[in-house]
Amino acid sequence: MDIAYIAMVLPFLGIGIGFFAIWSNHQQKMMRYQSKISAEKAAQYANSNMELEQRVRVLERIITDKGFDVSVQIDDLRDTSDMKELN
pLDDT at residue number 6: 83
C-alpha dist (Å) from residue 12 to 6, 25, 64: 10, 20, 76
Give the global pTM. Answer: 0.47
pLDDT at residue number 84: 62
Report d(CA 41, CA 33) in Å as an integer. Answer: 12
pLDDT at residue number 4: 84
Give every CB contact of residue 74 below 8 A, 6+ residues apart in sequence: 62
What is the pLDDT tens value at each position of the chain, 87 positions in all? 588 888 888 888 889 999 999 999 999 999 999 999 999 999 999 989 999 998 888 888 877 776 556 677 777 877 776 666 555
The number of angstroms, rounded, from the C-alpha of 59 to the middle of its chain's C-alpha atoms is 28
